[in-house]
């Protein structure tokens, strides 16, 4: 009898010894803890490819300026861009171009202008760690142009008395009437900043194509006393802000 009690007591001790660690583990887990070791730092995703510091020089030209003129636009612009690829991430850029216009606006004023312009700035490639070589570019530019422009108002033949009269769109609201005028060689200049956002895709070996939207903000301007210019080369219509589009073809020099 005593042997059976002793055996039962020993069996109970073994049962408790086995059950206590399991119960403790379940209690520890129920409190949101995990017995497995937890990584303290998240591993940083490695880039697909690592580019050298100097990764080449590219030359681009804008197709949008000549194309818009051929399709009936009022402005003609042509420009060449040169950028240096640093680690396929940063792209210091210089742009040189020529812009012109010879058109009548909606109020019957004739504007004529043509001059070079330049921009300097840099782009940042948000896809710099990708092997495919395509680019998502965000950039900033400083632009400047010094130009001459001509303005003249349209004269109209007087059907009743003969001769010519001024432009009715420019009639003086107080004294009435207006006089035709013609001014040539007026001097002007402008400085501006622009923010760029665009894509550049690799299409074949060293050849790329891309597009970008440019929002321009005027910093300062100097104009003649006889009237403001309608168009500023490299900037667009003369106002506080202008938006432009460029469609480029780019060749990466093979060195």
**Residue 82 shares a structural domain with residue 175:** yes
Q: What is the pLDDT of residues 189-203, one digit of tens each?
A: 999 999 999 999 999
pLDDT in the model for residue 132? 84
In a 13 Å sphere around the CA of 90, the CA atoms on its Cβ side amount to 7
Q: Alpha-carbon distance 56 to 252, whole Å?
A: 7
Instruction: Work out the pLDDT band at 8, boundaries 50, 70, 90.
Output: very low
**Residue 201 shares a structural domain with residue 239:** yes
- CA geometry: angle 36, 42, 44, nearest 5 deg: 145
Q: What is the mean pLDDT of residues 98-114?
A: 89
**Residue 18 shares a structural domain with residue 97:** no
State CA 215 to chain mean position distance: 7
Quote helix, strand, coil % in the chain, to nearest 5: 15, 50, 35
Domain membership flag for residue 80 = yes
Express as a percent the part of the chain with pLDDT over 70.
72
Domain membership flag for residue 42 = no
Lowest mean pLDDT among 5-14, 57-66, 216-225, 228-237: 5-14
Reduced to 3 states (helix: H, G, I; strand: E, B; else coil), residue 109 is strand
Number of domains within the chain: 2
Reduced to 3 states (helix: H, G, I; strand: E, B; else coil), residue 199 is strand
Q: Which residue reads 């106002």 in tokens?
A: 239
Query: pTM of the predicted model, to two decimals?
Result: 0.73
Domain membership flag for residue 47 = no
71 pLDDT more than 80: yes
Domain membership flag for residue 204 = yes
Domain membership flag for residue 46 = no
Answer whether 208's CB lies under 8 Å from 58's CB: yes
> CATH number, domain at 100?
2.40.160
The domain in which residue 5 lies consists of 1-36
* R_g (Cα) of the chain, nearest Å: 36
**Residue 225 shares a structural domain with residue 106:** yes
Question: Which of 5-14, 71-80, 137-146, 231-240 reaches the highest mean pLDDT?
Answer: 137-146
DSSP structure class, residue 200? E
**Residue 18 shares a structural domain with residue 93:** no
Domain membership flag for residue 85 = yes
Domain membership flag for residue 49 = no
Answer whether 195's CB lies under 8 Å from 201's CB: no
94 pLDDT more than 80: yes
Answer whether 116's CB lies under 8 Å from 233's CB: yes
**Residue 18 shares a structural domain with residue 102:** no
**Residue 95 shares a structural domain with residue 13:** no
**Residue 134 shares a structural domain with residue 194:** yes
The span from the first CA to the last CA of the chain, in angstroms, equals: 99
**Residue 27 shares a structural domain with residue 69:** no
**Residue 139 shares a structural domain with residue 22:** no
Domain membership flag for residue 43 = no
Q: Which residues pair with 209 in a beta bridge?
A: 201, 249
């Amino acid at each position: 009898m005593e042997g059976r009690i002793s055996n039962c007591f020993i069996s109970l001790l073994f049962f408790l010894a086995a059950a206590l660690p399991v119960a403790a583990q379940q209690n520890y887990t129920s409190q949101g803890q995990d017995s497995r070791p937890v990584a303290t730092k998240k591993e940083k995703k490695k880039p697909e490819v690592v580019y050298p510091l100097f990764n080449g020089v590219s030359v681009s030209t804008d197709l949008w300026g000549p194309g818009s003129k051929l399709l009936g636009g009022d402005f003609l612009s042509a420009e060449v861009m040169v950028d240096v690829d640093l680690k396929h991430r940063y792209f210091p850029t210089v742009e040189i171009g020529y812009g012109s216009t010879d058109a009548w606006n909606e109020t019957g004023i004739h504007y004529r202008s043509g001059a070079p312009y330049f921009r300097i700035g840099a782009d940042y490639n948000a896809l710099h760690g990708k092997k495919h070589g395509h680019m998502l570019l965000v950039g900033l530019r400083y632009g400047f142009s010094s130009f001459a422009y001509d303005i003249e108002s349209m004269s109209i033949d007087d059907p009743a008395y003969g001769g010519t009269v001024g432009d009715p769109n420019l009639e003086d609201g107080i004294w009435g009437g207006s006089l035709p005028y013609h001014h040539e060689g007026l001097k002007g200049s402008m400085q501006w900043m622009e923010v760029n956002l665009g894509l550049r895709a690799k299409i074949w070996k060293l050849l790329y194509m891309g597009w970008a939207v440019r929002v321009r903000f005027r910093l300062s301007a100097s104009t003649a006393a006889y009237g403001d210019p309608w168009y500023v080369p490299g900037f667009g219509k003369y106002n506080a802000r202008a938006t432009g589009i460029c469609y480029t073809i780019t060749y990466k020099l093979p060195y």
